[in-house]
Amino acid sequence: MKRITIFIVFSLSVINLFRFWFFNIERFSRRFNPEYFSKLYSQSQYVLGPKSVGGIGDDGLYAFAGYYYFFQGGDVSAVNFEHPPLGKYLIGLSIFLFNNENMINIIYFLLLLVLVYKTARLYLGKYQSLLPLTILMTDPLLLDHTIRSQLDLPFSLFFLAGVYFYILHFTNRKMIYLSQLFWSFAFATRFFPFLAVLEAFMLILVLYKNKRNLFSFISSLGLIPLVYLLSHLSFFIYHPSLIEFLRHKKWMLAWFTGTPIRTGNILRNIYTGWLFDSQGYLVKNKEWSPIQPVTVFLSILPLAKNPLYGFAALYFLYTVMATGGQAKFLMPVYPIMAILAVNNCQAVYCIICQWMRLKLQTSKAR
């Protein structure tokens, strides 16, 4: 009966996913209009400053940047220098392959589902591993990002891939190179210095669980600066100077340090659906659903005894302490939380069943 129930729930979530994409089919079918996005950017706040009327959103900015980088060989420091260029190159690739900036998101999301299932299978049964997928396919947080040209979905995919192959490397040492490759893709998509903390955590696990992998782990770290530099190749074409590149990174870092941090704001966001925006106004999160607080609460219960809990706890603490509190900051670790939530539910169920059996035996003995 349990398997049938899981299959029904999973099937309904698949229907929900394709229903969502069907009602937003125009987002995937419309042809990319470079003239429109170029004009939108030229009249945006990034060019005209306070004189801009209307401005441009992140999805429009990234779409224009992807077109500018991929088709015009543009300088990555000239448009949207705030984030590394890999994710925007991939948006350009989507425009090249599908003549649409959003179509690649379907590929990201399907790959993410496959990866979540394979990660869940390391700790859950075949059918129970489908349950984290149902969470992701019904949560508006991830669904909304499939119809917008943003960086959070590919970043989340690369993040989880880095975690998955890291776990596998304890049984196959070579997997650490795949893990660091995906960590480097994540770092080249969204700049997140917190990667240094995650790398320190992974190093501690290597020292604790299998010191024989230490050399492979340290040597694999070289992939991160290598991929990061390769993703900035066009920068060196326009500015053939390493010093200029370091100045550019200093400029980017200065921009990030100016981003307002609202400690604990993401907890308000998760558990109430409301948060303080960058201006200090209390606003509603349109991507919120009751699934999010339930998933997060179940995932942080200290019941899981696997490396996933360490990754989830560290990154979640970072989102609480050092971000503005927007839901997108939760996305990279949310698939892991979905797996942990199901794993912890299973653990609680086993504890309750064992307690009920003991109580029944005690009552019979009397």
Question: Residue 182: which residues within 8 A CB-CB, separation 6 or more?
Answer: 158, 159, 161, 162, 165
One-letter amino acid at 62 equals: Y
Is pLDDT of 1 > 60? no
> How far apart, in whole angstroms, are the C-alpha atoms of residue 130 and residue 13?
10
Give the C-alpha separation, 124 to 309, whole Å.
Answer: 14
Cα distances (Å, whole numbers) of residue 137 to 12, 55, 69, 185, 196: 9, 32, 32, 24, 31
> Measured between alpha carbons, how far is 157 from 111 in angstroms, rounded to an integer?
8
Nearest alpha-carbon partner for 167 in 303, 308, 300, 299: 308
What does the chain come to in residues?
366
Report how far residue 339's alpha carbon sits from residue 341's, in angstroms, rounded to the nearest whole number.
5
Percentage of the chain beyond pLDDT 90 is 77
Tell me how crowded residue 133 is: count the other CB atoms within 10 A of its CB: 24
Instruction: State the chain's mean pLDDT as an integer.
Output: 92
Tally: H helices and E strands in the chain: 20, 2
pLDDT digits (tens, 9 = 90+) for 231-284: 999 999 999 999 999 998 888 888 887 778 999 999 999 999 999 988 889 999
User: For 149-204, how does the pLDDT look when each residue is reduced to its tens digit (9 = 90+)?
Assistant: 999 999 999 999 999 999 999 999 999 999 999 999 999 999 889 999 999 999 99
- Listed by start position, the domains of the chain span 2-259
| Residue 350: count of CB within 10 angstroms of its CB | 10
Do the beta carbons of residue 276 and residue 260 sit within 8 Å?
A: no
pLDDT tens by residue, 315-341? 999 999 999 999 999 999 999 999 999
Reading the block at residue 199, the tokens are 């790398």
Q: Are the C-beta atoms of residues 293 and 228 closer than 8 Å to each other?
A: no
Q: Rounded distance, CA 57 to CA 329, Å?
A: 17
Single pTM value for the model: 0.95
Cα end-to-end distance, the chain, whole Å: 33
For the range 24-33, what are the long-range contacts, defined as Cβ-Cβ under 8 Å and sequence gap of 24 or more? 24/147, 27/102, 27/147, 27/148, 28/98, 28/100, 28/102, 28/103, 28/106, 28/147, 29/100, 30/100, 31/99, 31/100, 32/63, 32/67, 32/95, 32/99, 32/100, 32/101
Provide CB contacts within 8 A for 32, sequence distance 6+.
Answer: 63, 67, 95, 99, 100, 101
Residue 338 token pair: 């979905």
